[in-house]
Chain A
Amino acid sequence: MDAILLQILNGLDKGSAYALIALGLTLIFGTLGVVNFAHGALFMIGAFCAVTLQRILNLSFELVDETQTDFLGNPLKVKTPYVEAWFGPDIGGSIIDWAVPLAILFAIPIMIGVGYVMERGLIKHFYKRPHADQILVTFGLAIVLQEVVKYFYGANPIQTPAPDALNGVVNLGAAIGMDIVYPVWRVVYFFFAVLIIGGIFSFLQFTTFGMVVRAGMADRETVGLLGINIDRRFTIMFGIAAAVAGLAGVMYTPINSPNYHMGMDFLVLSFVVVVVGGMGSLPGAVLAGFLLGVLESFASMNEVKSLLPGIDQIIIYVVAIIILLTRPRGLMGRKGVMEE
């Protein structure tokens, strides 16, 4: 029982990353009808926003402290981050410690900007071209973004720890008398994902802006004829989708040290998630993300693996293939979306 609960937690946790990326992909696909192969790169840029903020906060100056000596007997050079010098060691230290959560604030404007520039500068020109061209140009863009990040940050993974307070483990089963020990940060990640997903859905559901966007997703032309500048709103939605991918990346950094090709690794999986959920269906993307995450973590249980060796490696793809062949529109796909 404990093991099963643990796997469900693991799955929800993995699934929340898939769901966030797939949600962004679907937002872009549903509004602009563009298949964005650079979405994984946006996830990666988000992660590197956290790295950058951490580096900025750690910028420091050196002081020679005459009272202390190093092991050679020379006066010790003490490095003090500017933040600690300005706010005092206590507040400054905790600001540095909380770099990753703070990076959320840092990443949102950057990601929206990146998304805006991407849509206006490049993707806008590809609406009328075939889907194959859209895939190819965004694939090229993904390579370029990845290589740019590699140039500035190097090829090795960069450690970005979570704040100390959130770094340990917690026993989630204590209340119900069970023993389920789980890393705190992963719990935080899950709730963060739920928060973002809820935020996006309520934004689309309960605001006028969201209503117009949903109307545009259903029938872009008619909304345009009503005198609404739907293109501008879709551009903003692209920025929001980029921000969602970026935030997923920011929060993922303590779980997995970011490197330049993390986006590509996630991209393939999140495409599979989108297809399973149904192209253009937001609830489908979220549902499929969590579903595939849970399935994947169950498949990696030893009992299952001894029954079907290697199933953990391929379960997602097998499910995707079965679903595409039996329910071509995906779990919650709408009729008429991407059916040439």
Chain B
Amino acid sequence: MFGLDKKDTSKLIIVACLALLAPFILNPFPTDSALAQFNAGYPDLMQRFVIFGIFAIGFNILFGLTGYLSFGHAAFLGVGSYSAVWMFKLIGMNVIPAIVLSVIVAGLFALLIGFVSLRRSGIYFSILTLAFAQMSFNLAYSVLTPITNGETGLQLTLEDPRILGVSATADGSIPVTNLFGLEMRSTFEMAVGPWAFQFNAGYYLCALIMLAAFYLSIRIFRSPFGMMLRAVKSNQQRMNYTGLNTRPYTLAAFVISGMYAGLAGGLMASMDPLAGAERMQWTASGEVVLMTILGGAGTLIGPVLGAGFIKYFENIFSKINDNVLHTWFSFLPDGMEDAVVFIIHPFIGKGWHLTLGILFMLVVIFLPGGLVEGGQRIKGWLSRRKAKDGGKAAGETNPAE
């Protein structure tokens, strides 16, 4: 289907199902139950899932294929957000021009930074991208304040021109972002028994764009261009010795992944029309690195999983507090209950970053392929066990190695 082989088609279908049915999947608990606070099926969070999914997919095209570890990708996301908000201020509240502009601007920015940074590789590349991103962050905070509005962040106001729209709605408020009239924040609620499912227009727009982005990344992975990038990762020197100039390929990969980041930034601004410099800080770049590695760098589905995983647990963990823990462990004897709660306490609520850091370290140390490799190992282990059972019946089939 769509020029994909069977395996890739099934991956695309899995992601499509997850994305389109997310309002159901993420709302497993009835609204009046005690566990309802762990529902993640509200529009704001679901939008973040898919937007960071796009960001991570794009990052993976660079890091997963070429092995160039960029620590400055948040800069492109920030640039995308700023250009989208400017589009809302000047042209109108339709999201399409905003998203298109944010992709283009981020692409140009990536071309510039990539052109300089890709002259070096390895650790130097990481540090150069880091330096560029910090530079953009500092500039956004200081000199570029007329464009970025500094610390306050860029926001819509009633005085904005909006040539193709209105500066203010009839009742005097700022118009909301829309797609040819379909408001991004409009939400359809469906109540089924005790469950309440929310279908948000903005979320579905993001989800569809993410599917398109995911499809594109599959095509890139399977294309001759993707093979070339992999060759760069495995041995760049040999590529150079064969007389091939690798830089155009890596630069193309860098620009593509920058455009993905810009797309994510543009969508972020389309869902909530404001942009701040903190989106460009290097810790934000670190986050997308975490997502990609945690999910599995170089795999197709890994970054999406990683982004969903981190954003989901960030949400869940920060909601757990001591009271919740006490109800969970109330079956234990009193002293033990307190002890267990005391031990778990640092890892929940505000301690989510601690959990994330530990988890990340464990993944890097023991599972360099991330969650995807973990899944494969479990699958391999299960099938090996099955094969052993079958193998005993059929006699020795497995060679020693």
Which of A90-98, A109-117, A131-139, A176-184 lies at the interface with chain B? A131-139
Given A268-B130, A309-B143, A313-B143, also A147-B354 (CB < 8 A): yes
Shortest CB distance A18–B (Å): 14
Chain A residues, Cβ within 8 Å of B131:
268, 272, 317, 320-321
Interface residue ranges of B115-142 to A (CB < 8 Å):
116, 119-124, 126-128, 130-132, 134-135, 138-139, 141-142
Q: Answer yes or no: B368 CB below 8 A from chain A CBs.
A: yes
Shortest CB distance B375–A (Å): 20
Chain A interface helix/strand/loop/mixed: helix
Q: Answer yes or no: B360 CB below 8 A from chain A CBs.
A: yes
A200 to B6, CA, bound (A): 61
Binary B-proximity of A135-161 (CB < 8 A = 1, otherwise 0): 111011101101110010000000000
Across the interface, A143 reaches (CB within 8 A) one of B119, B121, B144, B357, namely B357
> Contact at A340–B351, with CB atoms within 8 Å?
no
> Contact at A151–B346, with CB atoms within 8 Å?
yes
User: Quick one: which of B67, B121, B127, B354 has the most chain A CB within 10 A?
Assistant: B127
Q: Answer yes or no: A279 CB below 8 A from chain B CBs.
A: yes
Chain B residues, Cβ within 8 Å of A325:
116, 119
> Contact at B123–A131, with CB atoms within 8 Å?
yes
> Contact at B293–A136, with CB atoms within 8 Å?
yes
> Contact at A340–B122, with CB atoms within 8 Å?
yes
Given A35-B123, A275-B127, A279-B123, also A140-B346 (CB < 8 A): no
Chain A residues, Cβ within 8 Å of B289:
136, 139
Q: Answer yes or no: B244 CB below 8 A from chain A CBs.
A: no
Chain A residues, Cβ within 8 Å of B123:
35, 131, 135, 279, 338
Given A313-B139, A313-B142, also A268-B134 (CB < 8 A): yes
Chain B residues, Cβ within 8 Å of A309:
143
Q: Answer yes or no: A213 CB below 8 A from chain B CBs.
A: no
Q: Answer yes or no: A310 CB below 8 A from chain B CBs.
A: yes
Shortest CB distance A168–B (Å): 32
Residue of A nearest to B297 (CB): A132
Residue of B nearest to A132 (CB): B69
A183 to B138, CA, bound (A): 27
> Contact at B361–A144, with CB atoms within 8 Å?
yes
Chain A residues, Cβ within 8 Å of B141:
313
Given A324-B120, A324-B128, also A144-B354 (CB < 8 A): yes
Across the interface, A144 reaches (CB within 8 A) one of B128, B237, B358, namely B358
Chain B residues, Cβ within 8 Å of A122:
365
Across the interface, B121 reaches (CB within 8 A) one of A136, A271, A321, A340, namely A340
Q: Answer yes or no: A173 CB below 8 A from chain B CBs.
A: no
Q: Answer yes or no: A328 CB below 8 A from chain B CBs.
A: yes
Shortest CB distance B326–A (Å): 20
Chain B residues, Cβ within 8 Å of A338:
122-124
Chain B residues, Cβ within 8 Å of A105:
none
Residue of B nearest to A275 (CB): B127
Chain A residues, Cβ within 8 Å of B293:
136
Given A136-B293, A313-B142, A314-B135, also A271-B127 (CB < 8 A): yes
> Contact at B130–A271, with CB atoms within 8 Å?
yes
A12 to B19, CA, bound (A): 55
Size class of the contact patch on chain A: 35 or more
Given A151-B346, A271-B127, A314-B139, also A139-B286 (CB < 8 A): yes
A130 to B123, CA, bound (A): 10
Q: Answer yes or no: B37 CB below 8 A from chain A CBs.
A: no
Q: Answer yes or no: B18 CB below 8 A from chain A CBs.
A: no
Q: Answer yes or no: B236 CB below 8 A from chain A CBs.
A: yes
> Contact at A132–B361, with CB atoms within 8 Å?
no
> Contact at B132–A321, with CB atoms within 8 Å?
yes
Chain A residues, Cβ within 8 Å of B236:
340
Chain A residues, Cβ within 8 Å of B282:
268
Q: Answer yes or no: B364 CB below 8 A from chain A CBs.
A: yes
A295 to B286, CA, bound (A): 28
> Contact at A135–B126, with CB atoms within 8 Å?
yes
Interface residue ranges of B277-301 to A (CB < 8 Å):
282-283, 286, 289, 293
Q: Answer yes or no: A335 CB below 8 A from chain B CBs.
A: no
> Contact at B69–A328, with CB atoms within 8 Å?
no
Chain B residues, Cβ within 8 Å of A318:
135
Q: Answer yes or no: A264 CB below 8 A from chain B CBs.
A: yes
Chain A residues, Cβ within 8 Å of B45:
none
> Contact at A148–B354, with CB atoms within 8 Å?
yes
Chain A residues, Cβ within 8 Å of B134:
268, 317
Shortest CB distance A261–B (Å): 9
A141 to B356, CA, bound (A): 11
Given A321-B116, A321-B128, A324-B128, also A143-B135 (CB < 8 A): no
> Contact at B286–A147, with CB atoms within 8 Å?
no
> Contact at A328–B364, with CB atoms within 8 Å?
no
Interface residue ranges of B131-164 to A (CB < 8 Å):
131-132, 134-135, 138-139, 141-144
Chain A residues, Cβ within 8 Å of B67:
130, 132
Query: Which residues of B pack against A, CB within 8 Å?
Result: 67, 69, 116, 119-124, 126-128, 130-132, 134-135, 138-139, 141-144, 236-237, 282-283, 286, 289, 293, 346, 351, 353-354, 356-358, 360-361, 364-365, 368
Enumerate 29 A-B pairs (CB-CB under 8 Å) in ascending A order: A122-B365, A131-B122, A133-B368, A135-B126, A136-B69, A136-B364, A137-B365, A140-B357, A140-B358, A140-B360, A143-B357, A143-B360, A146-B353, A147-B354, A148-B354, A264-B283, A268-B134, A268-B282, A313-B143, A314-B138, A314-B139, A317-B131, A320-B127, A321-B128, A321-B132, A328-B120, A338-B123, A340-B122, A340-B236
Q: Known pairs A144-B357, A148-B354, A325-B116; list 11 more (Cβ under 8 Å).
A: A131-B122, A136-B289, A268-B134, A279-B123, A310-B139, A313-B138, A313-B143, A317-B134, A321-B131, A328-B120, A338-B123
